[in-house]
Structure 1
Amino acid sequence: MQLFPHQDRALDETFEKNRVAYYLDMGLGKTFVGSEKMWELNTPYNLLICQKSKIDDWKEHFETYYPEYKVIVFDKQSLDIIPEDSVLIINYDKIWRRPELLKLRHFTLMLDESSMIKNESSKRSKYILNLRADNVILLSGTPTGGKYEELWSQLHLLGWKITKQLFLKQFVVYEWDEINQQNKITGYKNVDRLKAKLRQYGAIFMKTEEVFDLPAVNDVMVKIPSTKLYKEFKKHSIVEVNGEELIGDTPAAKKLYLRQLAGVYNDNKLQYVKDLIDSTNDRLIIFYNFKKEYAALVDMIELPISTVNGDLKDLTAYETHSDSVTLIQYQAGAMGLNLQKANKTVYFSLTDKSELFEQSKKRIHRIGQDQPCFYYYLLTDGSIEWRMLEVLKERKDYTDALFEKEEGE
């Protein structure tokens, strides 16, 4: 297997370490670096934990490039005996339901998208932190999503046994919030020292622009006309749409319905998507959030469609038709897909998660892309979407707390 120079460099710099983190920007080939490190470590057993949507991709990867491994998708079946020279693949939502793996010894543990254990109190994180791995490989393009306080679990796996309390004290800046009567994070300190400690414990950081001269990125802001329904709901927190009554009786409900009224319930936005599709013969990638959005888009699109969501992953049309439209739900497809055959991404609606937003942009802007990339942001005039994009560009989540503050201003 021929690696790129930057991938060889990452492996060379960590050759003597058995606990490593490859924080390589999306598109730089973490899959190949991580699997090659696993092969170099050469333990009898290997355990790979990934997102459910990536299981088939990883299985195919190992079977193609490492035929000497016995690849086992550890899903519903139980294993009385785990064969040597095997790679067990399991998703994050299943791992903590497999108590037998706590008895496993002499193995290498690899976490794909290691930011999935950022909450150390979750069942999956507690379980993973209790595994007795000889070696650890962490893979992520966005290890923190801009939030250093979420690194602690990963640092623990790398062998830095600093307590959570001391970690926060050394690297996180707090400010007292009088309204909520609690400390809130306002920034970070000693960042250079933190990065130095990470490198000491086997972390490699690489950004795309440091490695490749990728094509230019072009953001296209499209102002979509608003609707009477949106304005009425924003004012009164209640409106009837197609016989359904939307009631924003809580901040979470109001935020949800404002997003939907700016998106799937805005015929102007649906018409713009149709016009955009009609104006090009190129592949289009469309990101969306809700099932109603998917249903409306599928009903409108007459070209070959590929789908990636919680129910279906089918990229046949994308692979075989140059004029296809690929509909991707953020949670299911913002991470890990290689879609550089396309150079145009349409944001029908925005996610409220910074990490998913950053990951989504890298699906087309990655190794192998030889055309300028265009990102179309469809933003309903005067809607919640403009503030959401502003917050996401600051690499922050658009939380209920931010929404409540905005509504109260």
Structure 2
Amino acid sequence: MATSLETFGTLEYVLDKYSKIWCWKVTGKHAVEMISKLTPEAWYGENENEVIIADSTESLKNLKLLMDRYPLDILSKSIWQRKIVKTYAPKPILPPIKHKLKRAKTGEQFRGKLMNFQKEGLDFLLKSSGNALLADEMGLGKTVQTLSYVSTEKQTFPVLIVAPLVTLKNWEREIQKFVKKKSRNGRIIESEFPSITSIRTGKSKELPQSDVYIINYELLLKRSDDIEKAGIHTIVCDEVHNLRSKTTQKYKAIKKLAALPSVQYRIGLSGTPIYNRGSEIWPIIDILKPGLLGSFKEFCEYFCYVDDKGKAIVLENKRASLRNELQKHVMLRRKKSDVLKELKDKVRYKEVIAADTDFYLEELDKIWKKLESEQKQAQTEFSKSASYHRAIQSERQIAGLAKLPHVINFVKNIMEIEESVVVFCHHKVIHKLLNESLEEFSPVAIIGGQSDETRQDQIDKFQKGESKLMIAGIRAGNVGINLTRAKYVIFAELDWSPAIHRQAEDRLHRIGQKNTVFAYYLIGNGTLDDHVASILVDKSYEI
């Protein structure tokens, strides 16, 4: 196997003395054998260990494939680099967006007042012709900027908003708050808001005529045929990182809807558009501006390498280039520190706390014995994989249980010095035990399965100061809510993705927060937490 310094021959750009055309000359026994198979039209040079290939896009691609297997000493480096960039660089389908952003004026249908940077966000959406990724950090008002755009741009209605289930009610409230009704003859009705149809069932039926349709990602596929008939002009994908995998049904459903002739505007919203791997941005851009990054194969060839698990990871030396390409043509990304000078910082602490290792190891032994038995009985690879994932989930839960008494003490200590605290956890059993053990503080709760009304009631009680402690599921309570009353957030359990943690932190660290936000990550010593924490550090280096 080749080392990083080992080469198997040379590559040189030469003028062939017989054909008088510019060619690539390859030397080296193994390299010559492989390139001769890839390019049958190649011809031998002065001996059998030297081959000549006419310069072309196809031959360049074959040479790149060859060098992935047999690295060569490149004698014409500047020419090679220039041609590689020319061959693989994405070819934008639209000219760059002019990034000298102005403070755009909102249309008469918009009800409300934008901050200066939000007016610049509106200007960006207008200049991008409504095909854009608004990737401002969470808490900067992506929702209101989007509503200002659909209220200002011409012929944006009907609008389809696709969002996580827990945020649908919030979208309804924001539309009613910021958008005025426009009658069929174009008259603005100050006292009314647009008609809204919230799609809450997967049962197919004709949709009523409406200005705005709201649906969650999970129902989208079941109702896509009905939505196709609604004559949608604008698609807004909230938390668009839900579409980061091009193999999912929800991605395919959105892709189909976004290609409808009636759809003119496609807007993606996400404070964390690139989740665990930089290559996850391609499916998102493929919906918002198809072709901007080329095909997935072209994108990977230029920007990525493939790891030993077959995952495409953006090359470290290509990250800045990719970010620049996105910001030039499709993405607006602002951080709070850039636009809200008065907003305080976030401070993170990694707190290693004690855990009941005897309990943890005893339960872990049971889990792996059960896994071993299930693996032997499994008939298919799918069954084996499912069994393994169940074991991992069980280990995560016992890691949470093993440190729980120390988590509770930590929360109580913080409650003694602070008015309002938010605690995030993952498992329902941990959520239940935290509620019971911290009952003296009359906590409010957010957890999966709550009705919209119950969820909002719990948020309101916390924000009004009726309760000083909120216990929230990290996946249920990390989007669509405002928890600026608190400045302390405690992670009783860890998620696999750093983006999930950032989203949860930014429920507190957003417009309206007047204090520094302190985030505590509680890591159970000697448990799975140690491993998860190390993974989070690795993933956080992704752009």
TM-score, length of structure 2 as denominator length: 0.66
How far is 1:88 from its partner?
0.5
1:48–1:89: 8 Å Cα contact kept in structure 2?
A: yes
Contact 1:19 1:201 in 2 (8 A): no
Matched, 1:95 2:220: yes
Residue 360 of structure 2 is aligned with which of 217, 230, 233? Answer: 230
RMSD of the alignment, in Å? 2.5
Q: How does 1:40-79 map to 2 (within 5 A)?
A: 40-41=152-153, 42-68=155-181, 69-76=194-201
Aligned-partner Cα distance in 1 for 2:405–2:122: 50
Could you tell me how far apart the structure 1 residues matched to 2:497 and 2:318 are? 26
Counterpart of 1:368, as a letter, is G
Asked if 2 retains the 8 angstrom alpha-carbon contact of 1:20 and 1:136, the reply is yes
Matches within 5 A, 1:246-261: 247=370, 249=372, 251-261=388-398
Matched position secondary structure for 1:173 = strand
Change in Cα spacing, 1:218 to 1:159, as seen in structure 2 (3 Å) is closer
Query: Residue 206 of structure 1 is aligned with which of 326, 334, 340?
Result: 334
* Alpha-carbon contact 1:305-1:324 (below 8 Å) kept: yes
Residue in 1 aligned with 2:322? 194
Classify 1:61/1:78 alpha carbon distance in 2 versus 1 (closer, same or farther; 3 Å): farther
Cα distance change, pair 355–183 in 1 and its aligned pair in 2 (3 A) = closer
Are residues 1:124 and 2:250 paired? yes
Specify the SS of the correspondent of 1:137.
strand
Residue 174 (structure 1) shift: 2.6
Whole-Å separation in 2 of the counterparts to 1:101 and 1:159: 21
In structure 2, runs of 5+ residues without a counterpart are 1-111, 182-193, 373-386
The Cα shift of 1:321 comes to 2.3
Give yes or no for the alignment of 1:286 onto 2:423: yes
Greater per-residue strand proportion? 1
Displacement of 1:64 in angstroms is 1.4
Alignment partner of 2:231 out of 86, 105, 111: 105
Deviations along 1:53-104, whole A, 9 cap, x unmatched? Answer: 00000001101111411121122376635435x1111000011111111234
Q: CA 1:89–1:384 in structure 2 vs 1: closer, same or farther (change >3 Å)?
A: same
* CA distance, structure 1, for counterparts of residue 369 and residue 139 of structure 2: 40
- The alpha carbon displacement at 1:147 in A equals 2.1
Give the conservation status (yes or no) of the 8 Å contact 2:234–2:264: yes
Q: Tell me the distance in 2 between the aligned counterparts of 1:61 and 1:170.
A: 41
Structure 1 pair 246–212 and aligned structure 2 pair: CA distance change class (3 A): farther
Match of 2:6 in 1: none
| Secondary structure in 2 matching 1:331 | coil
> What percentage of residue pairs aligned between the two structures are identical?
20
Shift of the 106–363 alpha-carbon distance from structure 1 to 2, 3 Å rule, reads closer
Residue number in structure 2 paired with 1:304: 442
Q: Please report how far the alpha carbon of residue 199 of structure 1 lies from its aligned counterpart in structure 2 after TM superposition.
A: 3.1
Structure 2 counterpart of 1:379? 523
Instruction: Using the TM superposition, give the Cα deviation of residue 186 of structure 1 relative to its aligned residue in structure 2, in angstroms.
Output: 6.9
1:2-401 correspondence runs (5 A)? 2-16=113-127, 17-41=129-153, 42-68=155-181, 69-76=194-201, 80=206, 82-83=208-209, 86-98=211-223, 99-131=225-257, 132=260, 133-161=263-291, 162-175=294-307, 177=308, 182=310, 185=313, 187-213=315-341, 214-227=343-356, 228-234=358-364, 237-238=365-366, 247=370, 249=372, 251-273=388-410, 275-276=412-413, 278-301=415-438, 302-312=440-450, 313=455, 314-321=458-465, 323-395=467-539
1:192, 1:220 → 2: CA distance?
28
Structure 2 partner of 1:404? none
The aligned amino acid for 2:165 is: K
CA deviations over 1:295-342 (Å, ceiling 9, x no partner): 101111222322222122232431232652111112211123211111
> Distance in 2 between the 1:120 and 1:186 partners?
17
**How many residues of Structure 1 are paired with residues of Structure 2 in the alignment?**
385
The answer (yes or no) to whether the contact 2:445–2:471 under 8 Å persists in 1 is yes
Larger deviation, residues 250-259 vs 303-312: 250-259
Q: Distance in 2 between matches of 1:329 and 1:273?
A: 18
What is residue 400 of structure 1 aligned with on the other side? none
Q: Deviations over 1:190-231 (max 9, x none)?
A: 334433432343321111221123323333333322211123
The amino acid across from 1:142 in the alignment is T
For 1:150 and 1:261, locate their aligned partners in 2 and report how far apart those are by CA, in whole Å: 31
Report which structure shows greater RCO (CA 8 Å, sep ≥6).
Answer: 1
> What TM-score does the superposition give when structure 1 sets the normalisation length?
0.86
Structure 1 distance, partners of 2:122, 2:198, is 26
Query: Separation in 2 of the partners of 1:125 and 1:396?
Result: 24
For residues 324 and 248 of structure 1, what CA distance do their matches in structure 2 show? Answer: 42
Q: CA deviation at 1:106?
A: 4.8
- Which deviations, in whole Å up to 9, do the C-alpha atoms of 1:7-34 show, x marking residues without a partner? 1112213323131111111111111111
Q: 1:354 to 1:220 in 2, by over 3 A?
A: closer
Structure 1 36/269 Cα, relative in aligned 2: closer, same or farther at 3 Å? same
In the TM superposition, what whole-angstrom CA distance separates every residue of 1:279-301 from its partner, at most 9, and x where no partner exists?
A: 23511101000110111011112
